[in-house]
Every structure is written in C-alpha cells, then in structure tokens.
Structure 1
C-alpha cells in the first residue's frame, strides 16, 4: 500500500503516525518489546530465552544491507516451528501473536515467516516501530484520497443514493439510482461480491468464512505502564483467551490520531470464523478490562460479513472476490511469498491493492499490456530517488 500511495501521489492526501505499542492479552496485558535493546532490558525473560529469541529473529530479519529476507520455511505450522525453538511457553505465545501476528498456531510457517520478515524489515524505516497508523480514520482517509485522485482524472462519485435498478441489454450496463434522474451507462461493471449480488438480485453463496468486526468507544486508554497515555496500540488476543476460532486483533486510537474527540478512545476489534455466530462479546469485555476496572463502553457496535472466495460468474462484469489475491503479477514489488487465506489487520490494505490491480487488468487490460506495465514498473523503481522512501532511519540500502 505504501508503494501504491507513493506512486499515485495519493500520499499527499493522507497523514500517518507510528504505531506506539504492540501488546498481547493473555489474562493480563503485556507489551511486546519493539527493539533488540528492549528485549535485553526485559528482566522477565531469561538470558537463555533472549538468545533463543534473537536466533529466531535473525533467521527471519532482512540482511544488514537491506536485502529482503527469504526465510527457510519448512512445511510445518508456525506453532510447531516456534515450539522447536525451546522458548518459554509464554514467550512462544508472545512471538507467535505479537511478532508473527498469526491468526492461530496452525497457520503454515511459510505465510507467517513471510509476514514476520515484513514486520522486522519495517523497524527503523520511519522510526522506532514497524507499523504506521493512518490518521483521521485510517483506511477511510486512504479511500477518500484515491477518490480525489480519480476525480482529477474525470471519475464521478455518487454517495448516499441506493441502487434502484441495474441491467445489461447485451451491449451496455444501465444503472438507475434512487433520487438521481440521470441514468448511467457503461461497457464494464466492476464491484465486490456482495454489492454485485445485491444490485442484480442474484443469490449470494455462503461465505467460506465470516469476518467479525466490533467498534468500542471508551473514555480510557489501555492501562500500560508508560511515561504517557498511549495514543495508538495493537493488541492481539490469542484464540484460547478470547474464546474464538482465531485470534482477535484490536487497534486502539486516541485523540492524537484524530480518530475521536479528546478524552475518548476508539477500539476496533476484528477476527474471522467459519460461521456467523457472534464471536466478539468476550473479547469486548476483555478490552474494557484492559483499560481499568468498571469501564463501560460509550458506544458499542458489532457486525459480520461473509467472505466469498469464489465469486459468481457475471457476463461483462469483473467481480472482486474476498480470496487471496494474485501478487506474482503485480507491479508493486512482486513476490512469490505466500499470503494467508484471510488477511489480518496488517495485510488487509496490501490485499486491497493487489485485488484492485487484478480488477483493473481484468476489466481493461491484456496480457501484453500487463507485461509491459510490469517491465515499466521495474524500470521506474530503479530510477526512483531513494529519498522518497527515506524515514528517520535513513534511506533503505536496497533502494539506493
């Protein structure tokens, strides 16, 4: 996503800040060290475990010259791979969920190590954190930025008007909206599974999984022992603690991210499951307990949506599925490293970029045009001024 923002100049429409804390909640809230020095300052970790931990991280981290890591990933689960390190059980859980950011312990090691390499490669690029937080609402601001950029090039956006009818006459699509007299026509229709099925009154197949989302607003931040109240944090609640099939990931944003008023903190909860039965009640109560005793939500909201990986076939239409997108043919730093089936909160925006690119070429491109775009993107990267990617840690060596 960062590469897409830089290439399209949409980055000029958005602002970011570093994520301050990554935490694990396993009955009690504990902060994951953000650097090698923090690891060795931890008195609760034995010296032997510190050495085992550093050996594991050095195996996955990028080389000192900035060369991306290609960690050897045996055909095992991330849980068994971490268990083989001999680390203390509590430290194993912190590594699996706080560093590898896994949904569950039986995730393939290949996908978990690929993501871990990305996390470790992010430390120092923009400061003492591997992750950025979008301000003024995060992903919503990015969507607005891309809309603004598209509008400059002639795109039209209509908000707040439901679809009245959508049909195809054999040559063109015709779209009628409630409250808009003008009829819109187009040769190609692009949309996600849910919107296309709803607009065409087409039966939507059951989801391969279900995404469960919750939003809680509290008047207190996470109760962390820090010099000042945290403004942003990522908390991972392991599935056995949250009582869910997969880990629950919680993003907290405070006034400093401009996502909520002064004195309030918004918590976004997300997990996925094989069915649409409620999943987040226990995790929501745990989030309240992380902020202190007798904390009551000011606002509480939960929703569920099906994740459909095999979209229906519709003529003259590109339907975007929820499944794993193709990135081996992407103009955005293609990689053969595998992606996990359902993106976690760190991967969601990257998945969106790959799906958007696939949809573009599916609607308007050809194999030849796509190949030319891949070659042009590779040439553009070599000619890029490294300062465009420069953070507080300096220019990334591999892009000089």
Structure 2
C-alpha cells in the first residue's frame, strides 16, 4: 500500500532515500528476512542489496500501477524476440514518412565534417528544414555512393572523435558495468509447481463432484503449471555456486511470445540469463563459469514432480555464453548546444526497465534532433516561446509517437 501511493515526502521515507532498500524494508516496516528478500529482488528487481530505496520504490509503484492495463501482468513482452520488434516498428513509421533504412550492410567509415573549401556535392535531403550543408559522410559495404548527413544519431562504437560533439546524458542508466549473458534453447517446458499442497475440498467442490458422478465421467484434467513466458529471479547467495553479491535473472520466452516455434511433440523455450558484473563480481571468471549454475538450476524445472526418479533435466539444444561490455563514448559533453552528433546512452542493466529506458532515450534523442535541425523543441517548450511573443513559421512537430488515427488509417481493409 505504501509503495503504490505517492510516497515522496512522507515521514516513513524522509532522510532514507539513499538507504539500501533491503535495510529500509527491515527498519521502516519491520519485515523479516524472507519477505524483505522477496520484495527487494522479485518485486523491485534490485540487482544488489546495496541499491538505494527511492528508485526501488518508484519501480514497484510503476509495476503496481501498470498491472491490469493490458492483462494481469504489468509487463509487455515483444513478439519475435523482444525489443528488436520495437525498433522494427520505428523503422516502419520512418518509412511511411519517407525515410530509408538499409539492412545487412557493414559501416566501413564515418568521416567527420568537411572543410569549407570542400566542393563535394551535398545531399539536400539530409535535413527537413535546415539550410546548412550535409557535414558527415558514411560509407557502407557494397554501396558505391556514400551517405551524407547534417546530423548523426549513433551508438558510440561507430563514431569518430570530433571536437564539436556531445554525449546525450541519460538519467535512467545508473551504471555502465558489463553484463554476463547466456542464451540457451531447450525443447522441454519449465514447470512451476505450487509448494503448498491442494486445499481440502469445500462443500461446493464436493457438490460439484457428486453432480459430475451422477452425469458423465469427469473430463477434468490436472492443472497445467507449464510456463511459457516468465522471469526467474535468483537473489544473491540463492545458489551455492552462484554469486553471493548480485542477483541473476532468467527471461523465459516460449511460443506464446512467438519467440520459439510451435511444436507438436516438443515445447521449445528460449532462456536469456543475465548477471550484472558489478565490481564485487570476480573479473577473472568467464561468462560460462558465472552463468552455468543458473542454467542448471533453471533446467531442473523441466522435471515435473510427477516424473519418475530416473527422469533427468533437459539439456540445452544450443547455449552460448558471453560478456557484454559497455562502449564508452569518446565524445565531450562540453558543447551540447552546437552538437551535430547525438549518441545513444548506455542502457540500464535492470531487465524490467530496459524497454522503458530505451523508449525514453529514443524520445529524448528524437527531440534533440528536431531542435538541431529545425530550431524547435518539444511542444511545451514552443508554447513557452509563444507566450513570450516569439514567432516561428517553420512546420511544427507535435509528437514523437504517430497519431492513433493515422495508424488506424494505414490498416488495409483487405486484412
């Protein structure tokens, strides 16, 4: 109840915003170890027990208020592999507006701004309303003509290091540490079986059973506890050979999210395991050494309780282990106003927050690009300028999101 409310400024939180969340639960609400651990890692999705209280409470509030909007879960899972389809959606929206996207071509080079004496022709379509010439040249594999642009939006690993560039700050990313990852494919479902036994049948259950026996033989089947899409959380020290300082997450995706094929005889699942490598995690260990215990633990769930003692857990059909290292930006943050490069910020390592953070970063970069190319900011910023009496005759861009009526108009009646 407290986390679902507007808790900022309340006496229970006053002066404790930076206290570790787990300690806060024990001090402010006198919770014992078991519920405090469950709330810290399974509800707030904290990575370590040292995470501060305020952002953890804000995450729980967001999840509580999101439940019931599109179903029982507060989370949405992208089809065909997750967030890649979010990028696909933006590509399609861009194409409707005349944009071009090129797939399967390696970026060979990104050349910095040309000098004023360079007479090379520029692409007049590089920007919608800016009269400045295109400054950057991008060479792609198997394309003879380079692409020219007045503004670049890019991840740090593609970029040159010109002096007049800036890094787009990201308030949603708390750190830029590496993450150990594993992708495994299995051909058996995971089974979550309630730890408590079935309750004793009540009068209504007995009456229903008697009616069934008088009519036809019962066709009711045992409850199915197979998991299609879920997140497994392994708190620190939950496995003897796992991490004692960091929580690991396993995202399970099955045929319900169209991430795995629908089989007649097999139930395929894809396991995505992640473990943030904060400084307390041994740097000398390989990704497989760090994540193999969590993969084994997840695979034990492929053995249902009704199985015989000889039944063995599933073995992965495919598994790959690797460490994802963040790419630091080579750019300076001293000249944001004159920047013609907008760099994607590092993404948050928190599994449930990745989609929201990526979308918020994309929207921030979008408005930054609009301001650089047209001189206009967000609609609320333009309203403030209008109130002060400034006028702008250029075409206004009102939203980062496509309007719903336009999206509906694009749907063909043939469908």
* Superposition TM-score, scaled by structure 1 size: 0.66
Query: How far apart are 1:304 and its partner, in Å?
Result: 2.1
Contact in 1 for aligned 2:81/2:258 (Cα 8 Å)? yes
Query: How far apart are 1:318 and its partner, in Å?
Result: 1.6
Contact in 2 for aligned 1:166/1:175 (Cα 8 Å)? yes
Relative to structure 1, is the Cα distance of residues 358 and 125 closer, same or farther in structure 2, using a 3 angstrom cutoff? closer
Contact in 2 for aligned 1:79/1:96 (Cα 8 Å)? yes
Structure 2 residue aligned with 1:183: 146
For the pair shown, the structure with the greater C-alpha radius of gyration is: 2
Tell me the distance in 2 between the aligned counterparts of 1:69 and 1:375. Answer: 32
Within a 5 Å distance, the mapping from 1:212-223 to structure 2 comes to: 212-223=180-191
Within a 5 Å distance, the mapping from 1:252-263 to structure 2 comes to: 252-261=252-261, 262=263, 263=267
Structure 1 residue aligned with 2:346: 322
Query: How far apart are 1:233 and its partner, in Å?
Result: 0.8
2:100 corresponds to which of 147, 153, 156: 156
* Superposition TM-score, scaled by structure 2 size: 0.63
Q: Which has the higher helix share?
A: 1
Query: How far apart are 1:254 and its partner, in Å?
Result: 1.2
Q: Secondary structure at the match of 1:356?
A: helix
Relative to structure 1, is the Cα distance of residues 375 and 176 closer, same or farther in structure 2, using a 3 angstrom cutoff? closer
2:236 corresponds to which of 232, 239, 250: 239
2:276 corresponds to which of 266, 272, 295: 272
Relative to structure 1, is the Cα distance of residues 197 and 244 closer, same or farther in structure 2, using a 3 angstrom cutoff? farther
Structure 1 spans left out of the alignment, 5+ residues: 1-57, 63-67, 199-206, 324-341, 386-400
Query: How far apart are 1:260 and its partner, in Å?
Result: 0.5
Contact in 2 for aligned 1:191/1:318 (Cα 8 Å)? yes
Tell me the distance in 2 between the aligned counterparts of 1:175 and 1:290. Answer: 49
Does residue 146 of the first structure (1) align with residue 90 of the second (2)? yes
RMSD of aligned Cα (Å) = 3.1
Tell me the distance in 2 between the aligned counterparts of 1:195 and 1:296. Answer: 38
Structure 2 spans left out of the alignment, 5+ residues: 116-133, 162-174, 195-222, 304-311, 334-338, 384-397, 405-415
Within a 5 Å distance, the mapping from 1:273-288 to structure 2 comes to: 273-274=277-278, 277=285, 278=287, 279-288=290-299
Query: How far apart are 1:78 and its partner, in Å?
Result: 0.4
Q: Which has the higher strand share?
A: 1
Within a 5 Å distance, the mapping from 1:25-104 to structure 2 comes to: 58-62=1-5, 70=8, 72=10, 73=13, 74-75=16-17, 76-84=19-27, 85-104=29-48
Number of residue-to-residue matches in the alignment? 294
Tell me the distance in 1 between the aligned counterparts of 2:228 and 2:159. Answer: 38
